[in-house]
């Protein structure tokens, strides 16, 4: 058995580890805990390289932590509700549950071939009634806390998926995160979670997450979008009503020359005069078809129109026109703004275009003019002018003064505004968690009693893919008696956004088979927060923000005692591969149609020159590498090593076959090295207290590897450099073969233990070859012996006039004078200094001696 046969040993050990229960989570143990978590996959049916990278990274961490003496929770599950299952039902007539469970089985089988040390006893599938019963129960926790409510709102409608979307699920261009459809606006009655109640905490607690990438924290900060400013009211001339605005620049209030309402604002019809009615109606119609993105795009000219109405600036009594404009969004702030063209770039352009007055109220500190002519808005701080009693004040200081004044006079107050809106959580689809609410004509919306949970998804459903949710057509299921008064009532037919399912799964893992509770408080408290979370950057806002919100709400309900779910976050880079594209047609070309001819990659058929670059693996670009194929050819250990070695985990990884080959060769070298040692080692290693020079050097190499790898894996998880260290150690062992040396044995064993988190199967096999009966994965991480790192000899470079002429071995503790003496007396020194006059000697301890000579 001297050939490395990955397929055979990998399957053997995977089965053995299951039999031994090596991956089970230790329940009763006084070891410190470590919770290692990968973002769970959507069961699409096929494992792709992105999954593989994600789970391998988490697995290495889990294995490392076990060796380091932690009790580790490393679970896995399935984010199993969602539209693809429903689409499969529509397209192919397969019931969503059947499709989903088939995919789960397939992907689980694929996952198992990677040698992941997952505790499958804690597997969860969000579509299982055992799980969604508790999702419903948690929904009702939110409902009872006043954090789940229904309201009519202009919402994002995805015309392809025929459902609404949360704001987080619409990209910055206004397209659906899932279907890619251009999202439309629709007025609908929907369920919301009041995430805005937690805006301030979600923002502030980002400071409690030093182990998160700054990039992700910044994205969340921007998404929450806190603005500090004022709420000010402008009376409408000839009316009792007032226009409320939100402004971040109360210091500019004397420079207001108009106010603008969002076209949808309820005051719009009230302020519009008969003369302007027609034009206003036409404008409103036009704006209605624009998306929020189009309305606010930087580069687009802002369009507006006079309503004919007049408002009064309460600060100076000035009469100012009321307009409507597309750039004012109804959903942000108060849906109205005060126009200050002199000090806001957008307002400046808008005022010029619409011939509105421009009034300066802030000038630079050194300015002599109080009414300068502006060629662009002056947006900097400065000195107040034309601002009544605030004249002469610094604009930065006037903000508070003006807010205080407004408050005293009764037309305003300080206000903090967030960009974050409430989370729209209802979906008009079947394959999701039913919202456990019944609508009664007399009692209103009533929670389904806990005892009646789960509200199960009915199975006798027809999927047509048209119109409303299939649930809305199931009369039998919809008609129930009211849990409160017993009279006929109707079930809620909306299901929950699947991001709710994934907002608490990490808590369920801590107590996954509990059928009495969502999870036991003690168990959740024991394991939370997640010590290392690993997943894709695409969830920077969505899942990661929702989960933080959930954790805080559950904490406030006494269900768990942590503020944050994920202590450390690693967002792994993408897996990329070469794509070939025809620059003329813009089409991707499959690899089998690419030939290399006349110094270029070309289309096999047309001969056209192709461009090529690395891009994220995807079917449509023909650059996907199937994990099953790589595993079949080289085995899981090689695939793992390649993924870990080729790029730091947070960077993109470029797939290349030569690199895979390289790792395969490395594992083969380790194989031969250890097998050779196993066959030749002396049963009695010599007990020699005095180490030879070779042994000393080898010990140095061993402990350097321990030190470097331990450091590489601490915190930042630099697997790539850790693998390089493994290679160095393997080379050192190869150079220092001595089968009767205790140091050599230490080296071989250390190499295997250090390798075991990365390539768990080969390490296990070779470990057993050495005669060990117990799994290598139950071993301990090697201890660093600092003494081994003390070098007692160094290589001293001898230079003449700065030119290196030779080297000598000297004691590491030699003084400057001794070094000079040793250099002079060495062969090299003698040869070059014989007839020369030494003018100057430069000694760099530990490195070199340089002689400056003259004739």
Residues contributing to the annotated binding site for ATP: 619
Residues 191-230 that bind ligand ANZ (CB under 6 A): 227
Contact between 231 and ligand ANZ per CB under 6 A: no
Annotated binding site: 619
Binding residue for ligand ANZ (CB under 6 A) from 249, 359, 539, 567? Answer: 249
Shortest spacing between CB 252 and ligand ANZ, in angstroms: 5
Pairing of strands 532-536, 495-496: unpaired
Residue 841, classified by CB atoms within 10 Å of its CB into exposed (0-12), middle (13-18) or buried (19+), is middle
Contact between 247 and ligand ANZ per CB under 6 A: yes
Shortest spacing between CB 144 and Zn ion, in angstroms: 18
Contact between 141 and ligand ANZ per CB under 6 A: no
Question: How is 376-417 classified by DSSP, letter by letter?
Answer: S---S--EE-SSGGGTTSBHHHHHHHHHHHHHHHTSEEEEEE
Contact between 291 and ligand ANZ per CB under 6 A: no
Using CB distances below 5 to 8 A depending on partner kind, what does residue 249 bind out of Zn ion, ligand ANZ, none?
ligand ANZ
Of 446 and 691, which has the nearer Cβ to Zn ion? Answer: 446
Q: Which residues bind Zn ion (CB under 5 A)?
A: 440, 442-443, 482, 484-485
Contact between 333 and ligand ANZ per CB under 6 A: yes
Shortest spacing between CB 258 and ligand ANZ, in angstroms: 11
Contact between 337 and ligand ANZ per CB under 6 A: yes
Of the candidates 344, 334, 164, the residue with the CA atom closest to the CA atom of residue 252: 344
H or E element in which residue 762 lies? helix 760-769
Contact between 344 and ligand ANZ per CB under 6 A: yes
Of 338 and 554, which has the nearer Cβ to ligand ANZ? Answer: 338
| DSSP letter assigned to residue 2 | -
Phi, psi of 436 (to 5 degrees): -80, 65
Binding residue for ligand ANZ (CB under 6 A) from 81, 132, 327, 519? Answer: 327
Pairing of strands 412-418, 226-235: antiparallel
| Number of residues located near ligand ANZ, criterion CB under 6 A | 18
Residue 240, classified by CB atoms within 10 Å of its CB into exposed (0-12), middle (13-18) or buried (19+), is exposed
CA distance 231 to 336: 11
Per the listing, tokens 């226009």 go with 243
Q: Is the dihedral of CA 836, 841, 842, 843 positive or negative?
A: positive
Contacts of 393 (CB under 8 A, 6+ apart): 383, 384, 387, 401
Q: Are 232 and 256 in contact (CB under 8 A)?
A: no
Contact between 52 and ligand ANZ per CB under 6 A: no
Of 150 and 248, which has the nearer Cβ to Zn ion? Answer: 150
Using CB distances below 5 to 8 A depending on partner kind, what does residue 338 bind out of ligand ANZ, Zn ion, none?
ligand ANZ
CA distance 87 to 397: 59
Of 267 and 340, which has the nearer Cβ to ligand ANZ? Answer: 340
Contact between 246 and ligand ANZ per CB under 6 A: yes
Residue 479, classified by CB atoms within 10 Å of its CB into exposed (0-12), middle (13-18) or buried (19+), is exposed
Shortest spacing between CB 270 and ligand ANZ, in angstroms: 18
Binding residue for ligand ANZ (CB under 6 A) from 75, 77, 304, 335? Answer: 335
Coil, helix or strand at residue 599:
coil
CA distance 282 to 573: 49
CA distance 810 to 565: 55
Residue window 410-449: x/- pattern of binding to ligand ANZ, with contact defined by CB under 6 A: -------x--------------------------------
Cα–chain-centroid distance for residue 546? 12
CA distance 417 to 25: 45
In this structure, what token pair is assigned to residue 613? 């670059």
CA distance 833 to 839: 11
Q: Are 384 and 391 in contact (CB under 8 A)?
A: yes
Residue window 158-197: x/- pattern of binding to ligand ANZ, with contact defined by CB under 6 A: ----------------------------------------
Shortest spacing between CB 282 and Zn ion, in angstroms: 46
CA distance 521 to 511: 9
Using CB distances below 5 to 8 A depending on partner kind, what does residue 28 bind out of ligand ANZ, Zn ion, none?
none
Of 323 and 338, which has the nearer Cβ to ligand ANZ? Answer: 338
Using CB distances below 5 to 8 A depending on partner kind, what does residue 227 bind out of ligand ANZ, Zn ion, none?
ligand ANZ
Per DSSP (E only), the strands in 645-733 are 653-654
Interacting stretch for ligand ANZ, rule CB under 6 A, among 69-77, 336-344, 430-438, 761-769?
336-344
Coil, helix or strand at residue 440:
strand
Of 385 and 743, which has the nearer Cβ to ligand ANZ? Answer: 385
Q: Are 705 and 726 in contact (CB under 8 A)?
A: yes
CA distance 557 to 564: 14
Using CB distances below 5 to 8 A depending on partner kind, what does residue 580 bind out of ligand ANZ, Zn ion, none?
none
**Could you count the other beta carbons within 10 Å of the beta carbon of residue 655?**
20
Binding residue for ligand ANZ (CB under 6 A) from 248, 291, 720, 721? Answer: 248
Contact between 338 and ligand ANZ per CB under 6 A: yes
Of 230 and 512, which has the nearer Cβ to ligand ANZ? Answer: 230
Of 42 and 405, which has the nearer Cβ to ligand ANZ? Answer: 405
Of 127 and 236, which has the nearer Cβ to ligand ANZ? Answer: 236
Interacting stretch for ligand ANZ, rule CB under 6 A, among 199-207, 211-219, 330-338, 638-646?
330-338
Of 343 and 399, which has the nearer Cβ to ligand ANZ? Answer: 343
Of 287 and 440, which has the nearer Cβ to Zn ion? Answer: 440
Interface positions with ligand ANZ (CB under 6 A): 227, 246-249, 252, 327-329, 332-333, 335, 337-338, 340, 343-344, 417
């Amino acid at each position: 058995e001297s050939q490395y046969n990955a397929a055979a040993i990998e399957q053997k050990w995977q089965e053995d580890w299951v039999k031994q229960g090596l991956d089970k989570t230790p329940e009763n143990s006084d070891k410190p805990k470590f919770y290692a978590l990968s973002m769970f996959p959507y069961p699409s049916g096929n494992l792709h390289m992105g999954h593989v990278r994600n789970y391998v990274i988490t697995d290495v961490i889990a294995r490392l932590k076990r060796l380091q003496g932690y009790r580790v929770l490393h679970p896995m599950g399935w984010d199993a509700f969602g539209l693809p299952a429903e689409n499969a039902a529509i397209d192919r007539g397969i019931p969503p549950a059947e499709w989903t469970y088939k995919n789960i089985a397939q992907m689980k089988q694929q996952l198992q071939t990677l040698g992941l040390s997952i505790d499958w006893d804690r597997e969860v599938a969000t579509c299982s009634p055992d799980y969604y019963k508790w999702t419903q129960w948690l929904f009702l926790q939110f409902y009872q806390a006043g954090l789940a409510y229904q309201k009519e709102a202009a919402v994002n409608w995805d015309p392809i998926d025929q459902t609404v979307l949360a704001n987080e699920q619409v990209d910055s261009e206004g397209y659906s995160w899932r279907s890619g459809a251009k999202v439309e606006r629709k007025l609908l009655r929907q369920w919301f979670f009041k995430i805005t109640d937690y805006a301030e905490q979600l923002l502030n607690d980002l400071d409690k997450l030093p182990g998160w990438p700054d990039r992700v924290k910044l994205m969340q900060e921007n998404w929450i979008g806190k603005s500090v400013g004022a709420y000010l009211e402008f009376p409408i001339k000839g009316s009792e009503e007032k226009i409320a605005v939100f402004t971040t620049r109360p210091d500019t209030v004397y420079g207001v020359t108009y106010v603008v309402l969002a076209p949808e604002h309820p005051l719009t019809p009230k302020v519009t005069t008969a003369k302007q009615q027609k034009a206003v109606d036409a404008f409103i119609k036009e704006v209605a078809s624009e998306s929020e993105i189009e309305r606010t795009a930087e580069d687009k000219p802002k369009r507006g129109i006079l309503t004919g109405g007049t408002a009064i600036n309460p600060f100076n009594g000035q009469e100012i026109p009321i307009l409507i404009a597309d750039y004012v969004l109804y959903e942000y702030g108060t849906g109205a703004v005060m126009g200050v063209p002199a000090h806001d770039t957008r307002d400046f352009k808008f005022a010029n275009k619409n011939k509105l007055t421009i009034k300066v109220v802030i000038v630079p500190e050194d300015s002599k003019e109080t009414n300068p002519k502006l060629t662009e808005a002056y947006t900097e701080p400065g000195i107040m002018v034309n601002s009544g009693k605030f004249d002469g004040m610094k604009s930065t200081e006037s903000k508070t003064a003006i807010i205080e004044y407004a408050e005293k006079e009764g037309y305003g107050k300080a206000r903090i505004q967030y960009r974050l809106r409430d989370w729209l959580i209802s979906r008009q689809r079947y394959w999701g968690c039913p919202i456990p609410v019944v609508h009664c004509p007399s009692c209103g919306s009533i929670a389904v009693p806990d005892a009646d949970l789960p509200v199960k998804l009915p199975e006798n459903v027809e999927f047509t893919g048209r119109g409303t949710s299939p649930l809305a057509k199931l009369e039998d299921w919809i008609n129930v008696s009211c849990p409160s008064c017993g009279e006929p009532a109707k079930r809620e037919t909306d299901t929950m956004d699947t991001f709710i399912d994934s907002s608490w799964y990490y808590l369920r893992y801590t107590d996954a088979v509990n059928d009495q509770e969502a999870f036991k408080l003690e168990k959740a408290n024991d394991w939370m927060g997640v010590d290392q979370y690993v997943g894709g950057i695409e969830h920077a806002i969505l899942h990661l923000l929702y989960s933080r919100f959930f954790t805080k709400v559950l904490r406030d309900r006494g269900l768990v005692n942590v503020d944050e779910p994920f202590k450390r976050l690693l967002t792994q880079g993408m897996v990329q591969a070469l794509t070939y594209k025809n620059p003329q047609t813009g089409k991707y070309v499959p690899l089998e149609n690419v030939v290399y001819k006349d110094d270029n990659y070309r289309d096999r058929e047309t001969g056209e020159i192709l461009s090529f670059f690395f891009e994220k693996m995807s079917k449509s670009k023909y650059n996907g590498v199937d994990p099953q194929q790589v595993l079949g050819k080289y085995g899981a250990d090689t695939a793992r090593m390649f993924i870990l070695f080729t790029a730091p985990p947070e960077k993109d990884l470029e797939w290349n076959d030569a690199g895979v080959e390289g790792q395969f060769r490395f594992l083969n070298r380790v194989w031969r090295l250890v097998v050779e040692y196993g066959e030749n080692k002396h049963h009695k290693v010599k007990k020699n207290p005095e180490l030879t020079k070779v042994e000393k050097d080898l010990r140095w190499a061993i402990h350097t590897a321990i030190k470097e790898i331990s450091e590489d894996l601490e915190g930042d998880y630099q697997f790539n450099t850790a693998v390089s260290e493994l290679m160095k150690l393997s080379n050192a062992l190869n150079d220092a073969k001595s089968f009767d040396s205790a140091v050599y044995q230490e080296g071989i064993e250390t190499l295997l233990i250090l390798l075991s988190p990365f390539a768990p199967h080969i390490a296990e096999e070779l470990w057993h070859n050495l005669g060990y009966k117990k799994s290598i994965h139950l071993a301990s991480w090697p201890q660093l012996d600092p003494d081994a790192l003390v070098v007692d000899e160094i290589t001293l470079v001898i230079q003449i006039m700065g030119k290196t002429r030779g080297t000598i071995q000297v004691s590491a503790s030699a003084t400057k004078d001794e070094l000079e003496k040793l250099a002079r007396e060495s062969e090299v020194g003698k040869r070059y200094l014989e007839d020369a006059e030494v003018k100057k000697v430069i000694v760099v301890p530990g490195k070199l001696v340089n002689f400056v000579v003259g004739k």
